[in-house]
Chain A
Amino acid sequence: MYSDKVIDHFTNPRNVGEIENADGVGEKVSSSCGDRMKVFLKVEDGVIKDIKFQTYGCGAAIASSSMMSELVIGKTLQEALDLTNDQVADALGGLPAPKLHCSNLAADALHEAIKNFQATTA
C-alpha cells in the first residue's frame, strides 16, 4: 500500500530529533487520528539552516515528516511557506487515499514553526 519512497523515508527517516535553542518550534496534531508532528528550525539570513522533527504516528506520518525536512533544508522561509502537504505527498510518490487527510501534516507543522520564528523575531 506504500510506495518505495514512503518505505525508504519511514525506514530511514532523515532529520529526526530536536534542536536545542531552536529559532522556531511548531507542531500540528491530526484531529482525525491523533498523529502529531513537532518541527524545530534553525534559521540564518532567512534560510532554513537546519531542521529536525519528532513525529507520533503511522508510517505515512513519519515518512511525510522526513520528506518535508529534506525538501526545505537550505530553502528560504518563503519557499518553505509555499510548500504544501500535497507537494510532500507527491514527492513521496503519493500516499494511500485514507492517509492524505490524517497523516499528511508535515507542511502544516513546518508552517507553524516558521510562524513561531517570525513571531519571536518580529
Chain B
Amino acid sequence: MKRIYMDNNATTAVRPEVMEAMLPFYKEHFGNPSSVHWAGRETGAALEAAREKVANLINCTPAEIVFTSCGSEGDNLAIKGVADVLRDRGNHIITTAVEHPAVLSTCEYLTKQGFEVTYLPVDGYGMLDVAALEAAITDKTILISVMWANNETGTLFPIEQIGAVARKHKICFHTDAVQAIGRVPVDVQAAQVDLLAISGHKIGAPKGVGALYVRKGVRLTPLIHGGHQERNRRAGTHNLPSIVGLGVACELAASDLKGAAQRLRQMRDRLERGLLAIPESQINGHPTERLPNTLNISFNYIEGEAVLLFLDMQGIAASSGSACMSDSFGQSHVIEAMGVDPMMANSAIRFGLGYDNTEADVDRVLEILPPIVKKLRDMSPFYHERDVTKATA
C-alpha cells in the first residue's frame, strides 16, 4: 500500500539536501563553535553561514537571529523575555484566542505572575479585526503576540497592518511564524515585527532546532542562563548539525518560495474542490487569506477521529483538531473560537500538503475519502435524522 503523508503542518520529512549538509557536522566537523582552535573555527564559520541563510529568508541581519531548540522555545523566549524586561512599564499583553499552545500557555503562565492578557476573538473565517486589536491597547500594554498563520486552519492574519498598529503605539510585536515560513513570503521589515519565532521541522529541517528573530534594540531576559552563546540571549552549546540543516532548509525555501507555493496551492485547491463536492461539507478557514498548503474541512454528522482511522488504514496520514484524539478532549480551541457548529467542528480534518506530495496523492485521497464519509454517515444517527429540507450541498 502506498503511504501518503499529508500532515506537513505537524512536521515534515528532512529534505535530502538538508540531510546531506548536516552529516559532516556529526563526525568530521564536530568542534564546539565557541572554541578558538581549528575544530571550533570551522564549525563557527558554519554556524554564522547558517545564521545568514535564516536571516536572508526573513529579511533581517544575521545578528538578529537567535538559534533555539524549537518554535515553542522561540515563543516562550519572546513573550516571557519581553514581559520580564518591560514589567515596570506595564503588565498588559494582547494576543488572540487562536494562538498555538506555545503562546496561549505562556500567557496563562504570565497571568499567574500578575500579567493581564486580552485574547482577541476571530470571525467565522478565523480572521482577526485589526481595529479591535488597536482598541484593546491600553497604556499598560507592553506586548502584542499574534501568529502569522494559523496551524489548524491556515488562516493568515494581516500581519503588516498589525505591525503598523504596534509601531504606531510603540508596542513590542511578536509573531509565531512557524507555519508561515517557507509557505508565504515573510519579511520582518515590511511587517514591522520585533520578534518572530520559526521552527526547523516545518520546512524540511530536523526536529529540535528553531530560531527567534529579535529586532536590534529589543531586550529580552533569557530563558536559559549559562554561557555567552547567541550574544547572551540563549545559552547552551549549539546544536550545530541541526542549525546547519535549518540554514540549508531556509536557503531552499527562499530559492523557490513562489514556485513551491504555487504547486502546493494547485494541489490543495484541487483537493478542496473535490472534497467540497461531498454534500454538507465545509472549509474551516479563510477562503483566500490562507496558507497555500492547508485544507481544514468538515463533513457533517460524523466524527473526525473515525475518518482519520479509516484514512490511516489506507495509508493516508492527515490530522484532526477535533475531540477524541487519544489524549486530549474537547474541541479544537481554534475551530470553537470561529463559532463553527459543534458537530461540524467535531468532524474537522486537516490536510497539510508538503514538498513531497504529488497530484497522484490528491487523486488517491479524492478516491478514498468520499466512501469513508458515506460509510460513517450511514452509521450516524444524526445523519438519518437530519432535516433534509434544510440540508445544503
Contacts and interface: CB of A to CB of B under 8 A. Distances in A.
Interface string B337-373: 0000011001000000000000000000000000000
A7 B312 CA distance: 11
Contacts of A61: 303, 306
Contact of A1 (B303, B326, B378, B382): B326
B303 A35 contact: yes
Nearest to B324: A58
A103 B324 contact: yes
A72 B324 CA distance: 27
Contacts of B329: 32-33, 98, 102
Contacts of A2: 309
Contacts of A35: 303, 324
Contacts of A27: 381
A58 B347 CA distance: 10
A18 interface: yes
A56 B380 contact: yes
A12 to B, nearest CB: 10
A18 to B, nearest CB: 7
A10 interface: yes
A56 B382 contact: yes
Given A56-B303, A58-B303, A59-B305, A36 B326 contact: no
Contacts of B135: none
Contact of B380 (A1, A55, A96): A55
Best-surrounded residue of A10, A57, A62 (most CB of chain B within 10 A): A57
8 closest pairs, A vs B, by CB?
Answer: A54-B381, A58-B305, A58-B324, A38-B381, A56-B380, A59-B309, A33-B323, A1-B326
B324 A57 contact: yes
Interface of A: 1-2, 7, 10-11, 13, 16, 18, 27, 32-38, 54-59, 61-62, 96, 98-99, 102-103
Interface in B313-332: 313, 323-324, 326-327, 329
A29 B346 CA distance: 15
A38 B381 CA distance: 7
A10 B381 contact: no
Contacts, number: 66
A8 to B, nearest CB: 11
Nearest to A32: B329
B381 A102 contact: no
6 contacts: A13-B379, A16-B379, A18-B384, A35-B303, A54-B381, A59-B306
Contacts of A102: 324, 329
A32 B324 CA distance: 10
Contacts of B302: 56
A36 B324 contact: no
Contacts of B324: 33, 35, 57-58, 99, 102-103
B301 interface: yes
B327 A11 contact: no
Interface string B200-223: 000000000000000000000000
B305 A55 contact: no
A96 B309 CA distance: 15
A45 B236 CA distance: 76
B379 A54 contact: yes
B340 to A, nearest CB: 14
A2 B313 CA distance: 12
Nearest to B347: A56
Contacts of A1: 326
Nearest to B330: A33
A100 B222 CA distance: 43
A119 B384 CA distance: 25
A96 B326 contact: yes
A77 to B, nearest CB: 23
Contacts of B323: 33-34, 58
A69 to B, nearest CB: 12
Contacts of A103: 324
A62 B379 contact: yes
Contacts of B380: 54-56
A98 B325 CA distance: 9
A36 B305 contact: no
B384 A54 contact: yes
B382 A58 contact: no
Interface string B274-300: 000000000000000000000000000
A101 to B, nearest CB: 9
Interface in B1-45: none
A34 B329 CA distance: 11
Contacts of B326: 1, 96, 98-99
